[in-house]
Amino acid sequence: MEIAKVANKKQKRKHKFLNFELTTLTLPGIIYFFIFCYLPMFGAIIAFKKYNYANGILGSKWVGLKNFKFFFSSQDAWRLTRNTVGYNFVFIILGIICAVIVALFLYEICERGWIKFFQTSMILPTFLSWVIVGYISYIVLNPNLGILNQFLRFFRFSGRDWYSDTNCWPVILTVTNIWKNVGIDSIVYYAALMGISSELYEAAEIDGANKVQQVLNISIPHLIPIITILGILKVGNIFRGDFGLFYQIPRDIGSLYNVTDVIDTYLFRGLRNGDLGITSAVGLFQSFVGLILVVATNLIVKKISPENTLF
Amino acid sequence: MIKKIKISDIIIKFMFLLFSLAFILPIMTVFGISLTTESEIIEKGYHMIPAHIDFTAYRYVFKNPQTIINAYKVTIFYSFFGTFLSVIVMALMAYPLSRKGYKYRKPIMFYVFFTMLFSGGLIPTYILNTQYLQLGNTIWIYIFPSLASAWYIIIIRTFFQGLPPELAESAKIDGCNEWRTFFQIIMPLSKPVLATVSFLVLLGKWNDWQTSLIYIRKSELYSLQYLLQKLMDEAALIKNIMQIAPNIGDSASANVPAESTRFAMCIVATGPMLVIFPFFQKYFSKGLTVGAVKG
Amino acid sequence: MKITGKKFIMCLSVLLSITLIMSSCSKKVAQTDNKGENVKLKWVCTGAGKQKDSDAVWQEFNTKLKDYLPNTEVEIEIIPGGNFGERWQLMMASSEKVDIAWSGYAIPSFIGEVEKGAYLPLDKLIQEDAPDILKEFPDWLLELGKVNGEVYCIPNYQIMSTSPFGIHTKKEYADKYMDIGAIQAKYNEWAANSNAGKELYGLFENYFKKLKDNGLINKGVGVGTIKGFSDKATYDSTTITGFSIDTDTKQVIIDDMSDYKKLWYDVAADWYKKGYIRNDILSENVDGIDEAEKGYILWGHGYYDKTSESIESTKKGFATKVFGLGDKYYIKNNIPATSTCIARTCENPARAMKVIELMNTKKGKDLYNMLVYGLEGKHYKKVSDNRIETLGYVTYADADSLYGLNKWAIGNTSNAYETQVDPEGYADYVRSLDDNAQILPTVGFKPDVSDISVEIAQVATVTKEYAELSYGALPNYQEVYSEYMEKLKTAGALKIRDELQKQLDEWLQKSKK
């Protein structure tokens, strides 16, 4: 009994020490987040105030939920929400599928030279700002001289005025978004694949598994943790539209707003007088909903595979 | 057997080639437009291959070589040093979070993740950085406020979780404390993820122009992208000067290559990153982890 | 763990509260100016940025300044135009010590900034410390900077009156195909008889048809600026985009709901169908001034009888015919595109005002020109008493020039030396135009928008969505137009109009004109 107790105590001390040491590792990060993220966070209170320079953040007049009115009482609130969330939802799912497929196929190539070449080319869009991508998309979609229409006419189809056809835009925007991000995303998944020891594949091949079976049983399960986690994180931003994408590519054409206007572009258009309270209010709303969705998604994931949860 | 693999290999490579075209052609277009004369752009719009090759845009961008070289110096310093610090801090954070036995795992994870969603906004952050931390208008503003990001911490954590737990166990048995375990065992095994994250962080810092916009007043501390943006704004402003001071007559302003400059800027900023990327790619290779575990 | 969590949050809150309280403390302000006191003022202005000789020039400026204002020193910071608005808001939010501040087109909303408390009221200061400004400025000039009855900015004087709407086109085409006399007559008729509008557009159409038949139509009509044609000349600004005042009837008009606009929508749609407007106008999205460069055959801009044609011809590189529609110049209720203010963080506003006075009056002419143009011999050559030739640049000194600031950013441009860019006697010409212009009765009206700010933002977003109606390129524009009208109403356009009308009536009553 005595021995057990002593052993138990030793264990506890060991654990305490272990936890203490690990905590020291986290200290730099914790201090960083505290100073640079949590301290300013209280300033979000601007969302409930009518901001006045002289009174500062604390002293400005409290207006409660008035700043939120701008978004909620807008006749477009439903359309904006539908667009923002709808697009993001599709982007997340299709983005993951495309990036994973690319990573898997890239993994099959053995020559370093080819891998380098393909990865470098896929990464190129990351260097282009949305403004430049906007110009490029215009070169492609221009009704008169655009490449797409020239291509169609070559095959005896008639070109279309893409900029006045609202039906194509969900596709155009999705393709553009994937084009811009697949390079970076696939690199992350590719790095994860690097962590699988090749012995596993060799053993599976000896057991008679073909390529597809190997992928399904080894590669993909190894990717599930990172896909899940990053997916949960992306859900947190599902109410935030990528401003550059939705503003530059449709060239801010009003008649397309029905399918291209998102919360962030709407905000940008309406706040020429620099109302800080309203901007902050909408941002707070986007964060808050994101939080709820993440917690919900996390709970769902907990039910399915508890080791892949965020927290 | 060997023949089968070859064919599928060729097919994959061919598909990737086609796929890569979708990425290479746009960059070539950007390069082509940067070499086009301004008047051709206005008359005929944007095309990939210019009728005449014209270096005016590049001459305009480099008209003051000293400022560009300076911006390169500043950007190189804070990008690399900042990335180095950043990755260390984030990896340090990610490691305990990956250890199942760590008591504070869940609350710290929430603590970190919360910052991804909620932020105080520009004004409170600005007040903090300039008034209290005195970072405004110094080189450190590029490094400290962006030291860590929940996104990358989680990527690194996931990778660490994939490492066999026996590693930490055997290290403890050998008498290592956590710091030594971290630096001498875990880090060397994590080359792929560290290379990936380092590159992505570096890329982000390299492309940053907003920090300069908000915090920097001294032109010696401008980042590369910001300097180029400024050139762009100036060019556009010269063309639109009539809106502010009406009725000014001068045709000299017509020679400012506003449109092609934008594209030249893109190429000037992109170049170095493209050169650097292959160095990171070295670490994206298979089998690096295998030997270590065995050993 | 949970307990420590709570403690943690409490510590955070306490720390934060201290932080925020400190950031909102205000400093004491000197009420009167003690002449003997050594004062250092910070002036934030727009320009190309710090130039090579900036320090040298500013040092000389401060030395000279002592002759006018002893014990005064000015530190100048130049912030490039594009960033100015955002930087300004950050400076004010973090209570940075700024004394003199430029304001103007780069500030998102002048009224917004005044309401947020960025600027100090200037009436008393002008009377006590800048009496020469009152003497030399035309009466109406300071009205433009008034908000809620108080002056908040000193407009930097440049040409203020709005000119008649100018039509620009290639001279050789105009001579052959255009009946300018008929157009001008019809335009004058339009002011009295609104049916004449359709006929007026018809006259332009004749011109286009002739050009098209002769294969000269090129890209078509420059829609970007010509759509401004749809406003009546005597409309004045309410300072809120989309809402104007018909100064004849003193009614607030919702621009896009007016008959003038509807006529333009119809004409634009018609012209687009007939091919007088380029068929990719929608995606081209051109709204800029350089429309001649983009190949348009007709576009609209300002018109100044003595100078426009020669200037435009030089700029465009081909002989341009410029003629005006109507012949009246008006002083309108526009927020000045460039002005100088005193920031709320200024500790010695009286001294700051004295410096501003020097920049805007004859007695400070030499100082003003030194700050704008630099040092004689190094940055400019003197040609005659009031004329110089700038060295190293022609119109605009950029960051790589030795030195050169914009005269319109620093002060009163009528006191500036003429450069090789200005036609002879330009300053007098401008002043005469302004003196003879008709001052619209609504000048000085700045509405209080705090109750309707949400509706204003909503209307702004709706307006942008339907902006393409002006291009005439929408196939089913009648439907779109009805939709637009409905949406405007739901967004609160009527509420805004009624509120503005109420305030306008009150204001007109009070300042019985």
Determine what percent of chain C falls in helix, strand and coil, rounding each to the nearest 5: 50, 15, 35
Q: Answer whether A125 sits within 8 Å of B99, measured CB to CB.
A: no
Q: Answer whether B254 sits within 8 Å of C293, measured CB to CB.
A: yes
* Percent of chain C's residues with pLDDT above 70: 88
C-alpha separations of C89 from B92, B198, C154, C317 in Å: 37, 34, 20, 41
pLDDT at C486: 94
Tell me which chain C residue has its CA closest to the CA of residue B108: C5
Most confidently modeled range among A213-222, B168-177, C426-435, C485-494: C485-494
pLDDT at B249: 43
Q: Are C332 and C166 a contacting pair, CB within 8 Å?
A: no
Q: Which string of DSSP letters, residue by residue, matches A172-225?
A: HHHHHHHHHHHHHHHHHHHHHHTTS-HHHHHHHHHTT--HHHHIIIIIHHHHHH
Residues in CB range of C378: below 8 A, 6 or more apart: C53, C391, C402, C403
Q: Answer whether C396 sits within 8 Å of B230, measured CB to CB.
A: no
pLDDT at A39: 93
Check if A52 contacts C (Cβ < 8 Å): yes
Specify the higher pLDDT residue, C103 or A253: C103
pLDDT tens sequence across C218-240: 777 776 666 666 667 788 888 88
To 5 degrees, how large is the angle CA A209–CA A210–CA A214?
Answer: 70
Q: Answer whether A108 sits within 8 Å of B145, measured CB to CB.
A: no
Q: Answer whether A142 sits within 8 Å of C474, measured CB to CB.
A: no
Q: Is the pLDDT of residue C33 over 80?
A: no
Candidate from B234-248, C250-264, C391-405 with smallest mean pLDDT: B234-248
Q: Residues of B at the C interface (Cβ-Cβ below 8 Å)?
A: 39, 42-43, 63-64, 103-104, 107, 122-123, 126-128, 130-132, 213-214, 217, 219, 230, 233-234, 237-254
Supply C225's token pair: 């600026």
Contacts of B263 in chain A (CB under 8 A): 132, 135
Q: Is the pLDDT of residue B294 over 50?
A: no
State mean pLDDT over C396-415. 88
Q: Answer whether B192 sits within 8 Å of A195, measured CB to CB.
A: yes
Architecture of domain C163-328+447-513: 3-Layer(aba) Sandwich (3.40)
Candidate from C72-86, C445-459, C482-496 with smallest mean pLDDT: C445-459
Check if A94 contacts B (Cβ < 8 Å): no
User: CA of B249 to nearest chain A CA: how many angstroms apart?
Assistant: 30
CATH 3.40.50.720 describes domain C31-158+336-426: no
Q: Is the pLDDT of residue C6 over 60?
A: no
User: Chains meeting C at 3+ CB pairs closer than 8 A?
Assistant: A, B
pLDDT tier at B189, thresholds 50, 70, 90: confident
Q: Answer whether C395 sits within 8 Å of B250, measured CB to CB.
A: yes
Tell me which chain C residue has its CA closest to the CA of residue B255: C315
Rounded Cα distance, A109 and C36, in Å: 81
Three-state DSSP class for A227? helix
State mean pLDDT over B250-259. 57
Check if B142 contacts A (Cβ < 8 Å): no
The residues that bridge with A298 in the sheet, in sequence order, are none
Q: Answer whether B147 sits within 8 Å of A32, measured CB to CB.
A: yes
pLDDT at C5: 46
Most confidently modeled range among A8-17, A90-99, C391-400: A90-99
Comparing CB atoms, the residue among C80, C312, C413 nearest residue B233 is C80
User: CA of B251 to nearest chain A CA: how many angstroms apart?
Assistant: 27
State mean pLDDT over A284-303. 92
pLDDT tens sequence across C178-230: 888 888 888 888 877 777 888 888 888 888 888 888 888 877 777 666 666 66
pLDDT at C119: 95
User: Chains meeting A at 3+ CB pairs closer than 8 A?
Assistant: B, C
* Percent of chain C's residues with pLDDT above 90: 32
Q: Answer whether C280 sits within 8 Å of A143, measured CB to CB.
A: yes
pLDDT at B166: 81
Q: Is the pLDDT of residue A108 over 80?
A: yes
Q: SS in 3 state form for B4-34?
A: HHHHHHHHHHHHHHHHHHHHHHHHHHHHHHH
Check if A135 contacts C (Cβ < 8 Å): no
* Percent of chain A's residues with pLDDT above 70: 97
Q: Are C106 and C84 a contacting pair, CB within 8 Å?
A: yes
pLDDT at C44: 95
State mean pLDDT over A90-109. 92
Comparing CB atoms, the residue among B42, B131, B237 nearest residue C293 is B42
Specify the higher pLDDT residue, C24 or B136: B136
Comparing CB atoms, the residue among B33, B99, B120 nearest residue A41 is B120
Comparing CB atoms, the residue among A29, A135, A233 nearest residue B92 is A29
State mean pLDDT over C374-387. 91
Q: Answer whether A163 sits within 8 Å of C283, measured CB to CB.
A: yes
Comparing CB atoms, the residue among C344, C450, C474 nearest residue A255 is C474
pLDDT at C365: 94
Q: Angle between the C477-491 and C493-510 helix axes, to the nearest 10 degrees? A: 60
| A25 closest CA partner among C271, B102, C90, B277 | B102
Contacts of B164 in chain A (CB under 8 A): none
Q: Answer whether C454 sits within 8 Å of A66, measured CB to CB.
A: yes
pLDDT tier at C37, thresholds 50, 70, 90: confident
Comparing CB atoms, the residue among C50, C87, C302 nearest residue B247 is C302
Supply C34's token pair: 């003690």
CATH superfamily of B5-294: MetI-like (1.10.3720.10)
pLDDT tens sequence across C286-343: 555 456 666 778 877 777 777 777 777 776 678 888 888 888 888 988 889 899 999 9
Comparing CB atoms, the residue among C77, C104, C398 nearest residue B217 is C77
Tell me which chain A residue has its CA closest to the CA of residue C96: A53
Alpha helices in chain B (DSSP H): 2-34, 38-44, 56-61, 65-98, 105-117, 122-127, 150-162, 166-173, 178-180, 187-189, 191-206, 210-215, 224-239, 258-281, 288-294
Tell me which chain B residue has its CA closest to the CA of residue C413: B245
Q: Is the pLDDT of residue C428 over 60?
A: yes
User: What is this model's ipTM?
Assistant: 0.85
The length of chain A, given as a count of residues: 311
Contacts of C279 in chain A (CB under 8 A): 143-144
| A133 closest CA partner among B204, B29, B210, B51 | B29
Tell me which residues of chain C, numbers 23 to 82, contact chain B at a CB-CB cutoff of 8 Å. Answer: 23, 48-50, 77, 79-82
pLDDT tier at A41, thresholds 50, 70, 90: very high
Q: Is the pLDDT of residue B244 over 50?
A: no
The number of beta carbons lying within 10 Å of the beta carbon of residue B44 is 13
**Beta strand pairing call for C100-104 and C39-47:** parallel
pLDDT tier at A9, thresholds 50, 70, 90: confident
Tell me which chain C residue has its CA closest to the CA of residue A145: C280
State mean pLDDT over B12-27. 89
pLDDT at B240: 62
Sign of CA dihedral C333, C339, C344, C346: negative
pLDDT at C200: 85
Q: Are C335 and C445 a contacting pair, CB within 8 Å?
A: no
Tell me which residues of chain B, numbers 144 to 163, contact chain A at a CB-CB cutoff of 8 Å. Answer: 144-145, 147-148, 150-151, 153-155, 158-159, 161-163
Q: Angle between the B224-239 and B65-98 helix axes, to the nearest 10 degrees? A: 130
**What pTM did the predictor assign?**
0.85
Q: Answer whether A253 sits within 8 Å of C285, measured CB to CB.
A: yes
Q: Are C301 and B240 a contacting pair, CB within 8 Å?
A: no
User: CA of A184 to nearest chain B CA: how many angstroms apart?
Assistant: 8
Buried residues in C220-239 as b, exposed as e (16+ CB within 10 A): bbbbbbbbebbbbbbbbbbb
Q: Are A148 and A140 a contacting pair, CB within 8 Å?
A: yes
Comparing CB atoms, the residue among A74, A144, A273 nearest residue C112 is A273
State mean pLDDT over C98-125. 91
| Domains of chain A, residue spans | 77-308
| Domains of chain B, residue spans | 5-294
pLDDT at B243: 46
Q: Is the pLDDT of residue A36 over 50?
A: yes
Contacts of B36 in chain A (CB under 8 A): none
Three-state DSSP class for B196? helix
Q: Is the pLDDT of residue B76 over 80?
A: yes
Check if A253 contacts C (Cβ < 8 Å): yes
pLDDT tens sequence across A145-194: 788 888 888 888 887 888 888 899 999 999 999 999 999 899 889 888 88
C-alpha separations of B108 from A245, B178, B238, C36 in Å: 33, 18, 52, 59
pLDDT tier at A286, thresholds 50, 70, 90: very high
pLDDT at C4: 44
Check if A272 contacts C (Cβ < 8 Å): yes
State mean pLDDT over B190-210. 88
Fold of A77-308: MetI-like fold (1.10.3720)
Residues of chain C with CATH 3.40.190.10: 31-158+336-426
